[in-house]
Amino acid sequence: MIVKIHILVLLILLSNITIAQKDSLIDSFIHYNQKEQYSKIVDYWESNQFGKTNEQSLILIEVAIAYENLNKEDVAFIYYQKALKIFIESKNQDKIIELNLRIYKLLDSQLKIEIDKEIYFKEFERLALKSNTPKWLAELYHIYAVRNFENKDFKIPKGHFLKALKNFKLTKNNKKRIAATYANIGLLLLNTSEQLDSARHYLQKGLKISTQENDKNTSWNIYLSIGNSYKMDKEYHKAISAYLKADSLNIKKYALNKKRILYFLIQECYAKTGDYKKSHFYLDQYDIIKDSINLTKQNTNISEIKERYNNEKLRADNLQIESQRIQNRNLFIGSLILLIFGVITAFLLHKNTKRKQRIAEQERELQVQKTEKLLKDQELSAIDAMISGQEKERQRLANDLHDNLGSTLATVKLHFEHLKNNRENPKVKNIEELYTKTNTLLDEAYQKVRTIAHEKNSGVMANQGLLPAIKNLAKKISNRDDLKIEVQDFGLEERLDNTLEISIFRIIQELITNAIKHAKASEIIISLTNHDSLLNIIVEDNGKGFDAQKLPEKEGMGLKSIEKRIEHLEGTFEIDSTLGKGTNILMNIPI
């Protein structure tokens, strides 16, 4: 109700606005804390024909940003387009450059979109170079670096980062961006084992600035990268020291998840040094945090159930109070009329009785409605269970085709691309080996199609077992130049249930396919640990990563499908991914 009053006041102000009053009102819009109401304000502004002004465009940009923060990128795109059109008409070059950059970044964050993002990038690129201002040149070179991050010649993206860094230093209030750019250069150099010292050099530069600026999030990420560099160098004590410094920072955002990652890495390093006591200690801390995260989710669900119950009870109490109020009012009116108009006493008593009957009927009807709703809910639950069973049966065959055949064909495609790019390169010595692998994978794909068509739940697991099948898969997919897959196992000496092995194998197949196809990873590590009747699976890649908080809701058999399968197995599924830093998928499945 309070929000509606605020909106009403703003609309009244709009109806009386003059040109001289616009600037102060825009400041109110931009700082107005109910950003989801922006669309109503803008619609009102446009319907009253205030004209296409730069001031109106500033509001449109704020509305677009609000929708983008709510993960409604399609709506944000519309408002950005409206603002861009107005700025083009008013020839505001600085805002035109900014809007092209914002729209490009929005489109670049989407996995599947029909709009060509390159149109906006090319326009931003042209105008940024034309303006020759450090602010826009810094952003342009930063994009160049990100777009070339996976280039085999790391000097290309490094050069772009250094140019961006130079221009950031020429722009005021950009120390945090400078620190982040140093961190990006360090992360880039971590991808090559020959550049670890140089990587730490840039990471230390970024750390110095982020510490001065009290930017704890950037400092945490840099300590993590420094620790990873020492871990890659097998200097495990130095890696532990860096991880512990990250742990000492008071990070508020995603604090539990970040501690969970650190404790898992720390226990790995202690295990490598032979200090199994501390390794077990941090593994226990990792388990405690993981359980705490699950408990927090459970408490949230309980609170929501309790709140719904309280709301239902409150509504029922209100209905009872209203019913009593109506009854009392009618009794009072009847008595008053009886005293004043004695002649019509019998008529009023009869009317009052009728009203009581209607109230009683309303109460009975309300009770009947509650009963019908309960039965309806039970019926819907039964229908949902039936539909769920049918849907699982329909999806089983689709999952078989996608998981078994999809990963094999994705690997074949990867080999063909490698063969295509290096067929005339005399320095590449494993061409014949790749031909043999590719031919073997095609034969295997053919056999899988026949197997899926004639058998149920058959495949690699029937004769080999889970661990040999995964290692065999990793060996077939890996090649010396572009992709390395490592499989680590702890406590998996005995076979699991055949159905469970098949499910786990297909999940890992899909995650490998995602890492190759979408993340463009060159290194994948698969860890399987049998820990107290709980199978812990971690799939790490060094790909380009993504924002796990903005995981798109889409059709298909990607991460959402895997998460549903894990839930069906009564397990847990967690994603930890950072743009440019790779992805960790953690799964725990009871066995």
- The CATH number assigned to the domain holding 569 equals 3.30.565.10
Task: Work out whether strand 484-490 and strand 523-530 pair parallel, antiparallel, or are unpaired.
Answer: parallel
pLDDT attached to residue 10: 40
Cα 76 from Cα 509, distance rounded (Å): 36
Residue 254 CA, distance from chain mean position:
13
Cα 398 from Cα 383, distance rounded (Å): 23
Cα 403 from Cα 417, distance rounded (Å): 21
pLDDT attached to residue 547: 83
Domain boundary among 181, 207, 232: 232
SS (H, E, C) 434-479: HHHHHHHHHHHHHHHHHHHHHCCCCCHHHHCCHHHHHHHHHHHHCE
- 491, part of any domain: yes
Domain boundary among 181, 215, 232: 232
DSSP state letter for 483: B
Query: Quick check: 476 and 453 in contact, CB under 8 A?
Result: no
- 209, part of any domain: yes
Ordered mean pLDDT values, 10 residues apiece, the chain (591 residues): 38 36 43 47 50 70 79 85 90 92 89 83 93 91 87 85 88 85 86 79 89 89 90 90 89 76 91 90 86 57 47 53 69 72 75 82 68 45 44 65 76 80 71 81 81 54 75 80 86 83 88 86 92 90 85 59 89 90 92 85
Cα 195 from Cα 192, distance rounded (Å): 6
- The CATH number assigned to the domain holding 190 equals 1.25.40.10
- 52, part of any domain: yes
**What does the block give as tokens for 125?**
């690129």
CA distances in angstroms from 537 to 17, 188, 504, listed in the order given: 61, 27, 9
- Angle at Cα 497 formed by Cα 492 and Cα 502, nearest 5°? 90
- 329, part of any domain: no
Name the pTM for this structure.
0.42
One-letter amino acid identity for 459?
G
One-letter amino acid identity for 312?
E
- 368, part of any domain: no
CA distances in angstroms from 224 to 217, 259, 354, 425, 467, listed in the order given: 11, 11, 77, 39, 30
- 563, part of any domain: yes
β-partners of residue 538 are: 527, 586
pLDDT attached to residue 428: 64
Here the contacts of 549-553 (C-beta below 8 Å, separation 24 or greater) are 550/71, 550/109, 551/575, 552/110, 552/111, 552/112
H runs (alpha helix) in 91-149? 93-108, 117-131, 134-147
Domain boundary among 192, 208, 232: 232
- 378, part of any domain: no
**What does the block give as tokens for 162?**
């250094």
Q: What's the number of domains the chain is made of?
A: 2
Query: String of b and e for 519-530 (b: at least 16 CB within 10 Å)?
Result: bebbbbbbbbbb
- 268, part of any domain: no
**What does the block give as tokens for 590?**
């009871």
Residue 139 CA, distance from chain mean position:
24
Task: Work out whether strand 582-590 and strand 484-490 pair parallel, antiparallel, or are unpaired.
Answer: unpaired
pLDDT attached to residue 527: 93
Cα 45 from Cα 80, distance rounded (Å): 16
Query: Quick check: 511 and 485 in contact, CB under 8 A?
Result: no
- What residues make up the domain containing 207? 2-232
**What does the block give as tokens for 351?**
């009317």
